[in-house]
Amino acid sequence: MYRQILILPEYRRYQHILWRSSPHDELREYELNTITCGVNCAPFLALRVLQTITHDDCNDFEWVRHALTYQTYVYDICYGADTIPEVLKLQSDLILVLNISGLELKKWASNTPSVLAAVAADDRVGTPMSFEAIDRLGTKVLGIEWHPDGDYFCCALRIEQSPIFTKRGILSLVAQIFDPLGVFGPVVFLAKSIMQRTWQRGLSWDEALPTDLHDDWAAFVSDLPSLLAIRIPRHINASLGASCYLLGFCDAVTLSGGTAVYVS
């Protein structure tokens, strides 16, 4: 997205970089014309452009305005509708409005084949996007994994190395469990409670864990793959404008408190 947004010419002088392809080449100075990934203001500028689009170009496209304002996280637009024709209309309107500003939508994913059929294969997540395959079909959205074929969320955690039995190793793994929906809260709590015990013991970052903490952490890591079997349905069977109830429950124990909210 950043590379699709131009910087005003008078501000490009603040985006100069030095580059050479080889240590033996002379340094060359380049001026970057678009938003540069990595600078502090890049996320703000990108989202500010989207806000400007909702103000200037969405007078006849209220759905698009709502999607860009309330259903967009950084550069992921997550939206749906009650019927396929409504989704297709929103899709075409999104493409139309953003094309006015030169923004081209990519990485389309949907649980409905006709929505994907409306865009080029190269613009879809996965080429081609098969709704029959099971493995390697997940699409990461906000740090979790969405499988369009079954329309469910699952844990996107991938443990690619042996556990490190230090406080630093525990923190590194805990940081990988990104759970914006809160469905893995008990698991995250258990990991953080072990982390808390390392602080209570006064352990340094790279000090080997005592036997009891070592055994508890080893048991936790060995059970982590079971998270991958958990599937959370994405769809809430309610049409737009339908009445819903939010039911909240809470409880507490010595180490923690927990809250769950259900939609009825």
Contact 82, 240 (CB under 8 A): yes
CA pseudo-torsion sign 167, 172, 176, 179: positive
At 95-140, the pLDDT tens digits run: 999 999 999 999 898 988 899 999 998 898 863 333 233 344 455 5
pLDDT at 260: 86
Would you state the structure tokens that stand for residue 142, as one six-digit string? 């906000």
Would you state the structure tokens that stand for residue 263, as one six-digit string? 């939609």
Amino acid at 86: E
Segments making up each domain of the chain, as ranges? 2-110, 134-235
Query: Cβ of 101: how many Cβ atoms within 10 Å?
Result: 15
At 39-56, the pLDDT tens digits run: 889 989 999 999 999 999
Q: Which uninterrupted H or E stretch holds 259?
A: strand 257-263
Contact 5, 34 (CB under 8 A): yes
At 156-182, the pLDDT tens digits run: 777 767 889 999 999 988 888 777 778
pLDDT at 160: 65
At 185-242, the pLDDT tens digits run: 888 899 999 999 999 999 999 999 999 999 999 999 999 888 878 888 888 777 777 8
> What are φ and ψ of residue 257, in 5° steps?
-130, 155
Buried residues in 48-85 as b, exposed as e (16+ CB within 10 A):
ebbeebbeebbeebebbbebbeeebeebebebbeeeee
Nearest one of 203, 194, 145, 144 to 174, comparing CA atoms: 194
Measured between alpha carbons, how far is 175 from 157 in angstroms, rounded to an integer? 10
State pTM to two decimals. Answer: 0.69
- ω before 128 within 30° of 0 (cis)? yes
Contact 35, 5 (CB under 8 A): yes
pLDDT at 127: 37
Contact 163, 217 (CB under 8 A): yes
